[in-house]
Chain A
Amino acid sequence: MSHEAAIREPLIFGETNYSVITDEICAPAEAKPTKHWYIGFTIAMLTLCIGIVSFYYEVTHGIGSWGLNKTIGWGFDITNFVWWIGIGHAGTLISAILLLFRQDWRNSINRSAEAMTLFAVVCAGQFPIFHMGRVWNAFFTLPLPNDYGPLWPNFNSALLWDVFAISTYFTVSIVFWYTGIIPDLATLRDRAKSKTRWHIFNFFSFGWTGSIRQWNRFELVSLILAGLATPLVLSVHTIVSFDFATSVLPGWHTTIFPPYFVAGAIFSGFAMVLTLLIIARKVMRLEKYITIGHLEAMSKIITLTGTMVGIAYGTEFFMAWYSGYSYEQFTFINRAFGPYWWSYWIMISCNVVSPQLFWVRKFRRSPIFIFIMSIFVNIGMWFERFVIIVTSLHRDFLPSSWAMYVPTWVEFGMFVGTIGLFFVLFFLFAKYLPVIAIAEVKMIYKKTTHGKPAGAYHGEQDYDQDKAYELAAAAHGHGHDEHETVGEHHH
């Protein structure tokens, strides 16, 4: 029996049961691709081609084809890298941290968010690799036995920490994601209409049967992986922030960078999840499972993390003054009022100011509004990295070496190309795999829908908490909450 409070908004709207859930979620993965899918996929492929051309040009012509100079050694490359890595945080946050916090609403978005995470990390990885210039020597970053004399990587370097952090993060995320998708692949296998399809999905579902022992271990493995992935996801952006903060550069060296980068990563990651899911739920007709309530919950997290990021901006600015360190003070004044002032104010308005609109309930329950906001946040977070990197570098300690940074078409092409790569991968995922964790939605289905008073449902996807409370109290008598079973519930 479900003991969920009557006022908790249901996470599934509309008539359904286990069979319908299976059918509806599996449908897109079993049907032929739609026209929309082909159009979208083609556009994504074309965008990826721009990237391939740019990457090719960069490799054959060298880093000189970028707009970097002696003063500004990091520009679009690292900005894009940090931006993508940040986006790649939401998935694991949703699947790991929200699992530990028992947030049931994660169950219908974790699969797609995690897939998105993997693709974002793939995109992110391209930039440091290609920034090496001679990409064929990229294996120098690995501690391999070699013939160059005992030439080992320097484990004191924050950049090498990145190599380990991101490859670990990518591997563990894949393992976590794949562990979770095994039961759903078995569902697809058992629905297969042809022998070949059955064998393909059986191969990938590892012969899953759904026995109690398997589920028992599955749940424990998910929990332990969540426990591991939680510090891991924090560590990744922490180590990315160390790339900057271990230096002595004003604007980069500040101790709040680790948690502030993590908050920013979650912020941008959720924005990207919203961007994708608002479209996906519409196109794939999954509004029933990814409800307005889900979007609202994510909007709230955006407001929370946006505000945290805002407090961090304020702290940095205040501490620059408080430190009494004139270079630090100059850097921050230069950020806000120097030649790149516009990027600073884009950052502030997109990241700190605009999420505050979500204080209005009507806004955070409007998919179109949320969609627009999510784009703003994506832009704002890109500019945050741009501000941190370029404005801290372009006016360094020697005024004679002050410079400006203008990206070339190659850099734009590479950035656009990774966006294409990201969408190509996402389109393939959305077509061939179930975008919602079927088993996990079934797990919460009864808990979240049963025992909810019918009178509290308003309109298509609105649930009136006050009304629900009233109706439940009327149904159970006033002593409803002071439960008779108090003290009996010990296992």
Chain B
Amino acid sequence: MIRRIEFTSRNKTIFMGASILGVVLIILGLIVDHNQPGRFWANFLLSGFYFTAFSVLAVAFMAIQYLASGAWSSGIKRIFEAMGMYIPVGIGVIVVIFLATFIGENNGMHAIYEWTHADVVKNDVVLQGKSGYLNMPFWLIRGVFFLAIWALAGRAYRKYSLNEDEVGGMLNYNKSFRLSAFFLPFFGFTFCVASWDWLMSIQPHWYSTIFGVNVFASSLVGCMTLTNLIIIILKKNGKMEWVNENHMHDVSKFMFGFSIFWCYTWVSQYLLIWYANLPEETPYYLMRMHGGWKSLFFINLSLNFFAPFLLFMMRDAKRNLNWVLFVCIVLLLAKYIDWYMIIMPMTAGKDSGFGFYEIGFWLFFAGIFAYIVGASLAKANLLPKNHPYLVESLHHDI
């Protein structure tokens, strides 16, 4: 049975159009908000990281499903595979930020990371102590290495899965299973390190050991949100008839559960820092709880925790297509604000706002993401054939 979708030229135009519109907005931003390199590069990192993190989690989620013998997700597996195809763009983000550093003093990494300025480090004992870790070449090597391995794992899952469609048997399943066993611990470790490198080191004096777990929770919620969004779009177009409200219910449960987990990590970090009140740690929150940031600080908590918690509490809420669509949009915005709060105060600082740059960069990467995912989904059968657990997913009923 062939269940394919077509990646039409109309789709291509829309997605490429979104990216081009993004570029136009960025150029407008350069004209209107000129001389704001901090804000420019911070937005590049924010939107670049936003979609990359969600895609990486798609690969990690596949690994979890294989290891836990999860069956319900095998019917929507192609969506995770397609999202995994986006990861190489993340390498591009890292490399561009690195290379742009050489344009001038206020560009690329210099615009984002305080520790790249030699004169700052010279006068700062603490940063000197960290320079063995926080230095530009090592930062680039780590970033590219992690992303490359994640991308390769994503490709491997895709390859095995497509091969499984052709030949059947347990061969490819077993390969994927073994890959998962090695990938998951690697991912757990490297994703934490990557979150320190890309996000935490923006405020280089500040540290929090739970930081990586918090970013992981955010990314998993984001990944599940995008998955639900893609399911909804496909279903609204009459595709994926084997996916029903039961599958959506499960994806929604992950959104719900990990939004609570996100709040748990957020509170753990905030409460401990608030309670101990140490001068090493509190500046992070002092900066984000005063001035214009204060309202955003509480909006962040509301949208990321209270919104999904209340909107998704009832069982039927997780099974209603349009309601889920609404929550997905809320959570996409919530995740954006979450990382906006992490990145912007130290980079864009007083220039922060919500304008051409923010919308432009988000649209630019969203267009690329949609294009890659759409094209990958169209390349293969939407229903993975011969997956040994598929029968359970097709009869999924909760």
Contact = CB atoms under 8 A, between A and B. Distances in A.
Q: Do chains A and B touch in the complex (CB under 8 A)?
A: yes
Interface of A: 3-8, 100-103, 231, 234, 238, 242, 245-248, 253-259, 300, 307-308, 311-312, 314-316, 319, 322-325, 359, 465-466, 469-470, 473, 478-483, 485-487, 489-491
A255 B210 contact: yes
A324 B265 contact: no
Interface of B: 1, 67-69, 71, 125-126, 129-130, 133, 168-170, 174, 181, 185, 188-189, 192, 196, 205, 207-213, 241-242, 244, 253, 257, 260, 264-265, 268-269, 271-273, 275-276, 278, 280, 383, 385-392, 394-395, 397-398
B168 A254 contact: no
Contacts of A5: 71, 388-392
Given A311-B188, A482-B383, A487 B241 contact: yes
B213 A322 contact: no
A469 B272 contact: no
A236 to B, nearest CB: 13
B188 A254 contact: no
Given A482-B1, A489-B244, A489-B395, 16 more contacts: A5-B392, A7-B170, A103-B68, A231-B264, A245-B272, A257-B272, A307-B185, A322-B133, A324-B129, A324-B205, A473-B168, A483-B395, A486-B1, A487-B241, A489-B394, A491-B397
A245 B275 CA distance: 9
A478 B386 CA distance: 8
A411 B174 CA distance: 51
Nearest to A489: B395
Contacts of B192: 311, 315
Contacts of A307: 185, 188
Contacts, number: 143
A478 B272 contact: no
Among the interface residues A6, A255, A323, which one has the most CB atoms of the partner chain B within 10 A? A255
Contacts of B260: 231
Contact of B209 (A102, A319, A491): A319
B280 A323 contact: yes
10 contacts: A3-B391, A3-B394, A242-B271, A253-B272, A255-B268, A259-B210, A307-B188, A323-B207, A324-B126, A481-B388
B20 to A, nearest CB: 38
Contacts of B280: 323, 325
Given A311-B189, A466-B174, A481 B207 contact: no
A7 B208 contact: no
B396 to A, nearest CB: 8
B394 A483 contact: yes
Contacts of A319: 207, 209
Contact of A256 (B210, B383, B397): B210
Contacts of B271: 242, 246
Nearest to B214: A255
B66 to A, nearest CB: 12
A258 B392 contact: no
Contacts of A491: 397
Nearest to A223: B315
Contact of B272 (A246, A323, A470): A246
A255 B133 contact: no
A491 B398 CA distance: 10
Nearest to B177: A465
A248 B257 CA distance: 31
